[in-house]
Amino acid sequence: MKVIVHGGAGSDPDEPVPRQAVLDDAAETGAAESDVLDAVESAVHVLESSPRFNAGVGGAVQSDGAIRTDAGVMTSDREAGAACSMPGVEHAVSAARVVLEETPHVLVSGDHAVDLAADFEVETGVDLWSEKKREKWADLDDVPDGTPSEHLDWLREKFGGADTVGAVAYDGDEFAAATSTGGRWLALAGRVGDVPQIGSGFFAAPAGAASATGAGEDIAKATLTRRAVRHLESGHDAREAADRAIEEFAELTGSSAGVIVLDSDGNAGSAFNSDAMQTSVSSRTASR
């Protein structure tokens, strides 16, 4: 099993060393699994439970003061599931896996996604606020309590941030990709970005798999992870595929993002055009 994880592409983190330690733990946790879906789910769980990352606990706050989580998962046999706009769901990646394994759908949203997750024993009703996010929200002035258009007027100069978390796994036969996020800071209530969209925040195919992070609206418009895997299908290795995808993304959008990739030779690749993107790679060889 080989696993690569990322902790989001964006500005330089305040505490890169402890963040890197969590990423290393996530990659090692995933690599200890024997199934690729278990690998990406368990790796992302570690990151969703850490307030150092914008997923699960400590996620971004939307314009109405709520934290809503999104995630998507996909395997190389093109099975996929995603869940979005979920208040109180720490492990959004597990809700996405429920959609993949238990429903005939690929995306379930909002309170219905929360109910579905709870029905399959994914914990709901979790307090996702970190101390840092509580302080940041409390420092805001004149928070609106009105219509969506009033929220839009207020947030136009405040909306931002682009971090997500993700993992890609390969066991020599199959790939899986997973991405999870708390969204973007002060996005309009109910906003959903690239993360739960197939081919944007995550993608897997027989040639390899990818997870993306960055400016979600632009990632969705450019279908960044599908673009990266297409380069694998054209014969490029993981590093080349990641580089080419980010170069094309920057040219198309003028925005910033990052992507992690695994290919069928077991190579791991990553690329970003933001200030920083921390990653970690771990592998485990099965005993004979």
Q: Note the pLDDT tens digit of each residue in 132-150.
A: 889 988 888 778 788 898 8
Tokens for 214, please give them.
Answer: 């960055």
Identify whether 147 is a catalytic site residue: no
Contact (Cβ atoms closer than 8 angstroms) between residue 30 and residue 186:
no
Which two tokens mark 69?
A: 């989580």
pLDDT in tens, 23-59: 999 999 999 999 999 999 999 999 999 999 999 998 9
In this structure, is the dihedral angle defined by the CA atoms of residues 248, 252, 258 and 264, taken in order, positive or negative? negative
Per-residue confidence band for 155, with pLDDT thresholds at 50, 70 and 90 = confident
Query: Over 90: is that where the pLDDT of 226 sits?
Result: yes
Look at residue 6 in the predicted model and tell me its pLDDT: 98
Q: Which of 29, 75, 124, 164 is catalytic?
A: 164
Contacts of 77 (CB under 8 A, 6+ apart): 174
